């Protein structure tokens, strides 16, 4: 195990300044991803700053306008069990409940969850196979290797990994915002712009800079929130990451779709919004499966499967249809 020094933060400004000034320091919340990365030598911080003592960052607030503010230190299990989260945005509660295990969800925080790194096995491999995310400039072992679980959208020659978070897919579908505090103040980053595509620099998963502390995720009130659903397809029914997943939310008038929100997990380096399908589905009846299928297909024109994962293109479209129909049944 790589040795590190551990200290505890009591003041957010000091934590932010410490992180900004010290490139060898990492924040640690639940530690359920970071400690695994350290064991796999995919992260080698010299100093860990425990942020769990920072005040005001663990609350789950139901906002008067119908939205939510979820503190970055709120635990996955607490958010999943919150009555207002379940009532207003079942897709968020389900995205959390289908993730990891009970014990992990009790430890793991919302901020840490959206910051978790890819499960690409070459990235996590202690033998240091070529991996541009782990060691920039070494290549991508997955591109010509085993890439069954990898991306079908938005990948580059440098990296074909997917983002593993489930709840991030639900947040992306609901147009949440990540609230980040730094030395210069607080800013709000639209969730769909928080994670990056790999491009030439897959070592960077998101747009955060040093000295950035996630303080909350805010979910605006959404008419599609109450009739929403999270569908996760995986190799085994529990304790497994998604092959593909879908967050769907829909608003209807007499079974006709008036607006819909769709995002997918397991298909790209970031949660992937199906914007073409969202437009094509407006005005379609939830009872017309053939038209629904055709509208969903518009978002898959740009799919670029890898040698081992062409099955995801069909699987993903079937999953979207099922998620949409299930969300529609809640409308
Ligand atoms: C066996 C296993 C199975 C899993 N299955 C799933 C699954 O199916 N679906 C799923 O979504 N997840 C899954 N996970 C991942 C799990 O959800 C994450 O490990 C967890 O959410 C990370 O939260 P944490 O608080 O423990 O983060 P930590 O490990 O403490 O931190 C992770 C990263 O986030 C950074 N960080 C933490 N908080 C902040 C903050 N406030 N501001 C800025 N940076 C911060 C840390 O510096 C670190 O880089 C699984 C994990 C394991 C080990
Ligand atoms: S897909 Fe990305 S994470 Fe996986 S080996 Fe290639 S560069 Fe590394």
CB distance 104 to ligand 1 below 6 Å: yes
Task: List the domain range (segments joined by +) for residue 43.
Answer: 5-53
Number of structural domains (the chain) is 2
Which residue, of 15, 38, 53, is where some domain finishes?
Answer: 53
CA 108 to ligand 1 centroid distance, Å: 6
Mean predicted confidence (pLDDT) in 166-173:
98
Residue 251 forms beta bridges with which residues?
A: 259
Task: Pick the ligand that lies closest to the CA of residue 111.
Answer: 1
- Binned at pLDDT 50, 70 and 90, residue 3 comes out as very high
Q: What is the DSSP string of 92-135?
A: HHHHHHTSS-HHHHHH-BHHHHHHPPP--TTTT-TT--SBTTTS
Distances (CA, A) of 130 to 8, 106, 117: 35, 34, 17
Ligand 2 pocket test, candidate residues 139, 142, 145, most atoms within 8 A of CB: 142
Q: What is the DSSP string of 48-95?
A: EEE-TT-TT-S-EEE-TTS-EEEETTSBHHHHHH-HHHHHH-HHHHHH
Task: Pick the ligand that lies closest to the CA of residue 181.
Answer: 1
Rounded CA gap, 325 and 15, in Å? 45
- Binned at pLDDT 50, 70 and 90, residue 250 comes out as very high
Task: Pick the ligand that lies closest to the CA of residue 140.
Answer: 2
**Could you tell me if residue 239 is inside a domain?**
yes
Mean predicted confidence (pLDDT) in 61-79:
97
| Phi-psi group of 220: left, alpha or beta (phi > 0 → left; psi -120 to 50 → alpha; rest → beta) | beta
The candidate with the shortest Cα–Cα distance to 316, out of 324, 159, 331, 289, is 324
- Tens digits of residue pLDDT in 78-90: 999 999 999 999 9
CA 143 to ligand 2 centroid distance, Å: 8
pLDDT at residue 128 in the model = 81
The number of beta carbons lying within 10 Å of the beta carbon of residue 237 is 8
**Could you tell me if residue 176 is inside a domain?**
no
**Could you tell me if residue 43 is inside a domain?**
yes
Rounded CA gap, 323 and 47, in Å? 43
**Could you tell me if residue 288 is inside a domain?**
yes
**Could you tell me if residue 48 is inside a domain?**
yes
**Could you tell me if residue 313 is inside a domain?**
yes
CA 155 to ligand 1 centroid distance, Å: 23
CB distance 159 to ligand 2 below 6 Å: yes
- Tens digits of residue pLDDT in 105-141: 999 999 999 999 999 999 998 778 999 999 999 999 9
pLDDT at residue 1 in the model = 85
- How many helices (H) and strands (E) are present in the chain, helices listed first? 11, 12
pLDDT at residue 167 in the model = 98
Provide the whole-model pTM: 0.98
**Could you tell me if residue 258 is inside a domain?**
yes
Ligand 2 pocket test, candidate residues 118, 137, 147, most atoms within 8 A of CB: 118
Specify the CATH number for the domain of residue 15: 3.30.43
Which residue, of 53, 74, 90, is where some domain finishes?
Answer: 53
Specify the CATH number for the domain of residue 318: 3.30.390.50
Which ligand 2 atom lies nearest to the CA of residue 118? 3
**Could you tell me if residue 246 is inside a domain?**
yes
Rounded CA gap, 26 and 92, in Å? 27
- Binned at pLDDT 50, 70 and 90, residue 149 comes out as very high
């Amino acid at each position: 195990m790589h040795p590190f020094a551990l200290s505890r933060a009591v003041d957010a400004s000091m934590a932010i300044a410490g992180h900004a000034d010290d490139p060898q320091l990492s924040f640690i919340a639940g530690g359920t991803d970071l400690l695994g990365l350290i064991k796999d030598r995919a992260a080698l911080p010299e100093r860990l700053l425990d942020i769990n003592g920072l005040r005001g960052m663990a609350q789950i607030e139901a906002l008067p306008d119908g939205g939510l503010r979820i503190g970055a230190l709120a635990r996955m299990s607490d958010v999943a069990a919150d009555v207002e989260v379940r009532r207003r945005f079942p897709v968020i509660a389900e995205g959390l409940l289908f993730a990891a295990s009970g014990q992990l969800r009790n430890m793991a925080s919302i901020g840490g969850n959206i910051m978790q790194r890819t499960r690409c096995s070459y990235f996590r491999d202690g033998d240091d196979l070529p991996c541009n995310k782990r060691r920039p400039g070494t290549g991508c072992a997955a591109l010509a290797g085993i890439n069954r679980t990898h991306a079908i959208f938005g990948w580059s020659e440098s990296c074909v990994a997917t983002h593993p978070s489930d709840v991030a897919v639900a947040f992306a579908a609901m147009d949440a915002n990540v609230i980040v505090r730094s030395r210069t103040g607080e800013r709000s980053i639209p969730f769909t712009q928080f994670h990056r595509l790999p491009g030439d620099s897959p070592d960077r998963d998101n747009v955060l800079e040093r000295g950035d502390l996630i303080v909350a995720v805010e979910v605006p009130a959404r008419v599609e929130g109450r009739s929403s659903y999270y569908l996760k397809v995986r190799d085994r029914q529990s304790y497994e990451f998604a092959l593909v997943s879908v967050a769907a939310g829909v608003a209807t008038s007499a079974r006709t779709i008036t607006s819909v929100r769709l995002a997918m997990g397991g298909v790209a380096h970031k949660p992937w919004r199906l914007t073409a399908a969202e437009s094509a589905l407006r005005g379609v009846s939830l009872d017309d499966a053939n038209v629904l299928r055709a509208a969903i297909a518009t978002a898959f024109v740009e799919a670029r499967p890898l040698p081992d994962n062409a099955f995801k293109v069909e699987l993903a479209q079937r999953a979207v249809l099922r998620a949409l129909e299930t969300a529609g049944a809640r409308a």
